[in-house]
């Protein structure tokens, strides 16, 4: 729930404060090889044919695999731990990855969508 504020018409009453961003659905542009909060679903803006990778593990496994890759000289942006999708048509996909791998042009076509909630906490 939003915080309560003093009613401007009656100082002895309170009214709900303004709603936070968590109350509303929102889209988030992703950056390749960067961990994000797990979305409710993924929106593909236009068709992708060069192949994308999505990382479906936890944030802890993402961090540990990045450290191993960096120590092995591969660099922290290796995509061998990502599940590959060779082509994706435009549309909504009910998948919940935490990171995306691919070319900058293809990754720009991906949006993570987060559903809002009446309690202001958002939805997983």
Domain parsing of the chain, residue ranges: 21-114
106 sits in which H/E element: helix 104-107
Q: What is the mean pLDDT of residues 81-103?
A: 89
Q: What is the mean pLDDT of the chain?
A: 79
Inform me whether the pLDDT recorded for 68 exceeds 60.
no
Q: What is the pLDDT of residue 69?
A: 55
Tokens of 65: 């695999």
Q: Could you give the CA distance from residue 93 to residue 26 in angstroms, rounded to a whole number?
A: 16
Q: What is the mean pLDDT of residues 18-33?
A: 76
Give the pLDDT band of residue 2 (cuts 50, 70, 90): low
96 sits in which H/E element: none
Cα 12 to Cα 4, 18, 19, 35: the distances in Å are 13, 19, 22, 47
Q: What is the mean pLDDT of residues 34-46?
A: 89
């Amino acid at each position: 729930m939003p915080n309560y504020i003093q009613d401007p018409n009656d100082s002895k009453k309170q009214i709900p404060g303004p709603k936070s961003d968590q109350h509303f659905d929102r889209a988030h542009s992703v950056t390749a090889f960067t961990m994000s909060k797990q979305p409710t679903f993924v929106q593909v803006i236009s068709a992708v044919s060069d192949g994308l990778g999505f990382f479906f593990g936890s944030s802890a496994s993402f961090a540990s695999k990045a450290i191993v890759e960096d120590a092995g000289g591969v660099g922290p942006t290796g995509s061998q731990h990502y599940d590959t999708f060779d082509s994706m048509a435009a549309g909504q996909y009910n998948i919940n990855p935490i990171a995306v791998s691919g070319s900058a042009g293809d990754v720009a076509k991906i949006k993570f969508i987060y559903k809002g909630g009446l309690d202001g906490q958002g939805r997983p």
